[in-house]
Structure 1
Amino acid sequence: MRFDWTDLQLFVHACEAGSMTAAASRSHLTLAAASARLRGMEEQAGVALLARHSRGVRPTAAGEALLRHAHAVLAQMAQLRGELALHGRGALGKIHLMCNTSALVQHLPPLLAAFLREHPSIDTVVEESASPLTVQAVRQGATDIGIASDAEDMTGLQTAFFCKDPLVLVLPRGHALARNRSVAFEKVLDLELVGYSASSALHTYLSLQAAQLGKPMRVRANLGSFEAMCTLVEQGVGAAVVPAAVLGKAVGNRRLTVRPLSDAWAKRSLVVCAPVDLANSQPAGRLFEFLKITSNRTKQDFL
């Protein structure tokens, strides 16, 4: 069967209007030409697609099946035309990026803003994701670029340093663990905790680490704000594990104590990762190179 755009559009009009005359008018065809096209479609399909009656037409069972597919094909064609039109106006495409919580709320936004200002024809979709899931998505081609913890195995991917991103323990001032210079996450799991949003990448990541230790997290409250978490910690509700980078504004002059986690996975850096065959000429390749260059400048600040 070789139905073209006009055939499918004409058929949809006929089904929606219930009239060949109206369908022909909407398709800018004569009634004779429209009828001939629909008869040709039925001959190719080998089955009746429209049932004719005194008040017009309606789709047969086969016609209903064709109508569903016609809607899908026409929608895809419209999307294709739209994307080609964007390219015609100089638009290059859309980048999908996955990253963890601290990258999303702290490290990435200023760099992404600079990139988008330099590339007005490129759009981005940023999705929050725990590091293991991000790396898996990059391997499977489910995302263009990922930003994940360097504790993850990224063999077979191209990578670049992004930033330092250690996790720390926030305690109410005077807590017994505050006497330690650092605290193991296994000890943290003996405490009641205040957690970030239950749907966040940070919560997922910490839950995975707890599962590996065979101990659950005793979370008394999940909040979508690091500042709100610190408020509950200060009031003695529980302790919290957060990225050190978010504590500047959240801690302020509060009665809190911050201690690093002693676990190797918590002394993390974030890494940008992408498929090895990602070309620099592609939109995602341009973003990867941009983050690589700007992050290398940041890395020098730590040396």
Structure 2
Amino acid sequence: MLSMRFDLVDLRLFLYILETGSITHGAARANLSLPSASARLRGMEDTLGMPLLERGRRGVESTPTGDTLAHHARLVLGQIERMQGELGEHQEGRKACIRLWTNSAAITEFLPSPIGRFLRDHPNVQIDLKERQSSETVKAVLTGAAEIGIISDAVEHGALQTLPFAVDKLVLIASRDDPLAQLTRTTLAEVAGRAFIGLSADSALQAYLGERALMAGRTLSFRAHMRTFDGVCCMVGQGAGIGIVSAAAAQRYRGTPGGTIELADRWATRQLLICMRDRDALPRAEKALVEHLAGL
């Protein structure tokens, strides 16, 4: 049997390297010098007798051995964080941190209000909120990288438990002068040849729309990328292109001329789900957040 001498710094460093795709950036996040981080990484590989990392298209990636280490590192560190969170509830000023991964529509349209109320009522809780595609969120919750996720029901969620959260409907928007503004319904395939205004290239919705276009045998062309749905609506209202946004965003943004056009594609209407590994096993703060979001 191997004699393992990994400490928590080793485990955190390794996960930071995977999250950033870089030993240099991982070392910086771990507050270690590059030589120190490299020495720790070599020490782990020497102990195991196998490489943990390899060069990939997006920087360094984990080997199969690295995948196993990452899985257990998340479990160990997650358990420690849960212990600290629960103990912290008994200490004034000590905050529990909940890791919540979600998609673009939820993070901009559906979460701000309920999370704001939750944080108001739970002063010793903080939330680490990340925007990711639903498929990434499922993997994160399954592996322990996040305690809770908000996902679309269009993705397979395996053994995760789910609760309904909200219905997200995507719509097409166009300026008043655009011929599309006369339509009531259309499909992505029918408008794929037009110039789009979209969210930033790294947003979950942008990746989702790109995948749906590819499945229809098309690619989308973008004239500009904005950080928010309001920014997309504003650009479209000026006639710069067309866009696809959450219906809630289009309704909220009063300056959208031409109204909205329904997308007839089945994937355009999504049930958003709260997902977790085991609701009964969640720490008190995480369980309270799930019940708050689900209206239980």
Separation in 2, partners of 1:133, 1:292: 21
Deviation at 1:115, TM superposition (A): 1.5
Counterpart residue number, 2:284: 282
Gaps of 5+ in 1: 1-64, 70-75, 295-303
Separation in 2, partners of 1:180, 1:248: 17
Q: State whether residues 96 and 143 of structure 1, in contact with CA within 8 Å, keep that contact through their aligned partners in structure 2.
A: yes
Separation in 2, partners of 1:188, 1:136: 32
What's the CA shift string for 1:59-115, capped at 9, x where partnerless? xxxxxx79xx9xxxxxx9xx99xx588455154621100111121122111111221
Aligned counterparts, 1:45-194, within 5 A: 83=84, 86=88, 88-89=90-91, 91=94, 93-194=96-197
Q: State whether residues 156 and 276 of structure 1, in contact with CA within 8 Å, keep that contact through their aligned partners in structure 2.
A: no
Deviation at 1:160, TM superposition (A): 1.1
Q: State whether residues 177 and 239 of structure 2, in contact with CA within 8 Å, keep that contact through their aligned partners in structure 1.
A: no
SS in 1 for 2:290: helix
CA RMSD in angstroms comes to 3.0
Separation in 2, partners of 1:185, 1:254: 20
Q: Percent identity between the aligned chains?
A: 32
State the one-letter code of the partner of 2:184. R
1:243 maps to 2:246: yes
What's the CA shift string for 1:250-301, capped at 9, x where partnerless? 2x2543231111111111121111113652543222211221126xxxxxxx
Structure whose CA Rg is larger: 1
Gaps of 5+ in 2: 1-38, 44-76
Deviation at 1:185, TM superposition (A): 1.3
- Please give the TM-score of this superposition, normalised by the length of structure 2: 0.66
Q: State whether residues 178 and 239 of structure 2, in contact with CA within 8 Å, keep that contact through their aligned partners in structure 1.
A: no
SS in 2 for 1:156: coil
Match of 1:267 among 261, 269, 276: 269
Separation in 2, partners of 1:215, 1:136: 28
Q: State whether residues 280 and 286 of structure 1, in contact with CA within 8 Å, keep that contact through their aligned partners in structure 2.
A: no
Count residues with an aligned counterpart: 221
Separation in 1, partners of 2:194, 2:138: 30
